[in-house]
Amino acid sequence: MTEPTTPRRPRRRRAAALLLAVGAVITASGTWAAWQSTGSLTQSVSSATVTVNVADAGTGQATWTTGITNLLPGDYFHRWVTVTNTGSVPQEFAGTLSGTATLPGALTAWISSCDVAFAAGSTNCTGTSTNHLGTSGTPAAFGSLSNLGTINAGASKHLLVRVVFSASADQTTYQNQNSTLTLAFTGTANNGGGADRTNG
């Protein structure tokens, strides 16, 4: 009597089960690879630039110097100075006028600014004038300038400097004396940092 052939079917089921198991392994491998993805982002940043530029009839950049000779008691002279914020942020400015040796003891100064540039050789401000040291009628001893205020990036402040040799300067002390005058400026970024730069 011949045996039935039905026992072969379980083998096909086992084969099918094996193929399903392999498929599961492949799927799991693909999911694991997705969790291992990487990426990067590059962003350029830069810090602020804070510099000062000073230009006038004398010489110098960070400081101003000027020369004059043969002063007699009561004489005076003018100089025109442009202070430019060549940095990338607004700056709060401070300034000081100083001099060397004996002569500054008999010198006083008036320093003012104009919100528009002075015409060449003119002491007349055609805009709004602000005093920073002394006044036109009462020049002051050399020292710190006041109220220079803020200069925006790329903007300038136009200064008129008047230096007066005292009419009462005595010959014994001041005859044949000389001095170098220096007008120095400092610019400080005026927001003090801590600003939100998210949008530039």
Give the pLDDT confidence of 106-150 residue by residue, as tens digits: 999 999 999 999 988 899 999 999 999 999 999 999 999 999 999
> For 23, which DSSP code?
H
Mean pLDDT confidence for 150-179: 93
Q: Computed from CA positions of residues 81, 84, 90, 91, in that sequence, does the dihedral angle turn out positive or negative? A: negative
Q: CATH code for 53-189?
A: 2.60.40.10
Q: Is the pLDDT of residue 185 over 80?
A: yes
Mean pLDDT confidence for 80-86: 90
- CB neighbours of residue 93 within 10 Å: 19
196: tokens are 């939100």
Q: Are 117 and 127 in contact (CB under 8 A)?
A: no
How do the domains of the chain map onto residue ranges?
53-189
Give the pLDDT confidence of 17-39 residue by residue, as tens digits: 333 333 334 444 445 555 677 78
Mean pLDDT confidence for 55-84: 74
Q: Are 75 and 161 in contact (CB under 8 A)?
A: no
